[in-house]
Amino acid sequence: MEVFAIRVRRKTRKFDLFKTIVNSGFNFVDGDVVVVSSKFVSISEGSLIQLKRVRPTSMAKKLAKKFQMNEELTELVLREADMIINGIPGFLLCIKDGMLAPNAGIDKSNAPKGKVILYPRNAFSSADSLRLEFMSSLGLMIGVIISDSRLMPTRIGTTGIAVGVSGIEPVEDQRGHHDLFGKKLKVTLKAIADSLATIGVFIMGESNESTPVVVIRGAEVRFTNRKLSHVEMTIDPSNDIYLRNFSLKLKNTSVE
């Protein structure tokens, strides 16, 4: 397997994602898996928000006071989150598109001063559009993963997660296979897309590397043309091994 980093100039406003990637000069081939930073996708779609233009509601003001957060940012989190579980100073722990996401994935890093970057509006649709442009314009069959960095419970530092996927099967069901000692696997599913997203995030870095696109070549994946969604890659919080014993709170819950 080979991994290639693609450097691009810093972007601060909406732009054409496909043209920016292919104009990098990299020679793409059939079977490549293109991993793209979710922030880069969001900026290309114009999802950069000026905080001072956000008008916080009374609920946002209460939450901001309780968790020592900026009121405008808190308002955006309320709008973006599907569910708010709880919070700590500076962060609200949310469910967004089936995933745990501090502050609903909203981020200030690598954004111009005074602005924040939201998640792509529909990361799976964005991945589909990019893959289909590779197919129609270059005649290439590729996979696309839109990645984000993520903290894991009890671990220090970030790893990667796939927030949008197109063209490859994101999960491999290994139930029914046997381990080294002949025992049948009963619950094991392999997170293919998340694993490749982690490779991408490792190469991209977290600061000023300017490498928001990574190409993985030679990965053992199953290519597909079927429509994918986050439902195939997520589990209901009530069944999650980490969350099932926590008391979940809806995002409109009281903050008294």
Residue-level pLDDT at 209: 67
pLDDT band at 198 (very low <50, low <70, confident <90, very high): very high
**pLDDT, tens digit, 9 for 90 and up, residues 87-138:** 999 999 999 998 889 999 998 887 888 999 999 999 999 999 999 999 999 9
Instruction: Give residue 176's region: left, alpha or beta (phi > 0; psi -120 to 50).
Output: left
Closest CA to 24 of 208, 219, 206, 215: 215
Say if pTM beats, i.e. exceeds, 0.75.
Answer: yes
**pLDDT, tens digit, 9 for 90 and up, residues 12-45:** 889 999 999 999 999 999 999 999 999 999 999 9
What amino acid is encoded at 85 in this protein? Answer: I
138 burial level (CB within 10 Å; 0-12, 13-18, 19+):
middle
Neighbouring C-alpha atoms within 13 Å toward the C-beta of 162: 31
Superfamily of domain 1-47+119-225 in the CATH hierarchy: CofE-like (3.30.1330.100)
pLDDT over 90 (residue 139): yes
* In the chain, where the domains are located: 1-47+119-225
